Amino acid sequence: MGIYYWHYDLDPDFPVCVLEHASHGNKDQMHWHNYLQIALCVGGRGKYIFTNKEYDIQKGDVFIINNFESHVAISEPDEAVIFLFVIFLPELIVNPGCSQFEFEYLSPFWYDATTFENKIDHVTETAMRINTIMYQLRDIWEEQPVGFRHMIDANLKSILGLLIGYYRATDPGNASMNIRANLQLLPALNYIKQHYHENITLKEVSELIPISASRFRHLFIEVTHMRFKEYIAVLRVTEAKKLLLTTELSICDIANEVGYTNINQFYKSFHKYVSMSPHEYRKLFRYSQEEGLSPWILESTQT
């Protein structure tokens, strides 16, 4: 099982792409990727599930996703939520010799995933302005006029500037990531996301880098802001949430699927991170045939 690593081959001379993507039901796997991503919902309704949080998706919503955080978009059964993506590698914007000013363009993506708000709601002025630029980027990408690379670069930096202003205003205390530490930890995070449903140990994973188990423990907390066992538990609960919303598997089967051999431990972990039982979560957010309401409408009626 594990979490899928979505590798997109971008042009090494100009590592950026503008594309549309439709998430149909629960077709997409929980995944992470090698690129930075700005996602604009251009149609449909759904839900974005991240490692330790989830968001409703509506047309016009903007989502910021880095190259470390696991996530998946789902929609209602037999429907789709449609996105316009701008994906790019960090080296499109920065290089080892760049100035601090240039480096700050990527600051919105070096975030603490435990507290960061990935969603910029469609009603905000920032989202509206990003909407306009995203559609311009799509048109430029499709038409590829003379000088289109410079136009793509300029428009992308306009979005990054808006993101810097938005997050500095709304979350000035959000801790930025130590990029070197993240790069060092990347092979271990990759391994964990592929094997979190197995009985892996901190010592086993630390040998992949390799560093001592003690140093790995400190580095892991520095990067993820979680302890090793807590991080694995969150990954398991995240996948369980997706399975509860999108399959008919029993709760016992879901617990086994995500790596729990003790059903009581699964219930305890799930309640710790979701503040309700798996049964309550499924009942609250699953499509209700009796009421004729989608999970997204049901959620709004509960708040």
Q: Which domains does the chain have, with CATH numbers?
A: 4-170 (2.60.120.280), 179-285 (1.10.10.60)
Six-digit token string for 129:
């302005």
Residues 97-122 as b or e (16 or more Cβ within 10 Å = b): eeeeeeebbbbbbbbebeebbbbbeb
Give the pLDDT confidence score for residue 198 in this predicted structure: 94
pLDDT digit of tens for each residue in the chain (303 aa)?
Answer: 555 667 678 999 999 999 999 999 888 888 888 799 999 999 999 999 987 789 999 999 999 998 878 889 999 878 899 999 999 998 899 876 777 788 889 889 888 787 899 999 999 999 999 999 999 999 999 999 999 999 999 999 999 999 999 998 877 655 455 556 766 787 888 889 889 999 999 999 999 988 999 999 999 988 888 899 999 998 899 889 888 887 889 999 999 999 999 999 999 999 998 888 999 888 876 643 334 444 433 343 333
Between CA 225 and CA 113 the distance in angstroms is 8
247: CB partners within 8 A, 6+ apart = 26, 254
Contact 186, 220 (CB under 8 A): no
Kindly give the residue spans of alpha helices, DSSP state H, lying in the chain. Answer: 100-103, 125-143, 148-170, 179-195, 202-206, 213-224, 228-246, 251-258, 263-274, 278-285, 295-302
Contact 277, 270 (CB under 8 A): yes
Give the pLDDT confidence score for residue 262 in this predicted structure: 95
CA Rg value for the chain? 20
Give the pLDDT confidence score for residue 197 in this predicted structure: 92
Give the pLDDT confidence score for residue 254 in this predicted structure: 96
CB-neighbour burial class of residue 269 (10 A; exposed 0-12, middle 13-18, buried 19+): buried
The residue with tokens 């950026």 is: 16
Contact 290, 296 (CB under 8 A): no
Give the pLDDT confidence score for residue 286 in this predicted structure: 61
Give the pLDDT confidence score for residue 180 in this predicted structure: 64
Give the pLDDT confidence score for residue 222 in this predicted structure: 82
Q: Which residues pair with 54 in a beta bridge?
A: 49
Six-digit token string for 76:
């209602």
Between CA 288 and CA 85 the distance in angstroms is 31
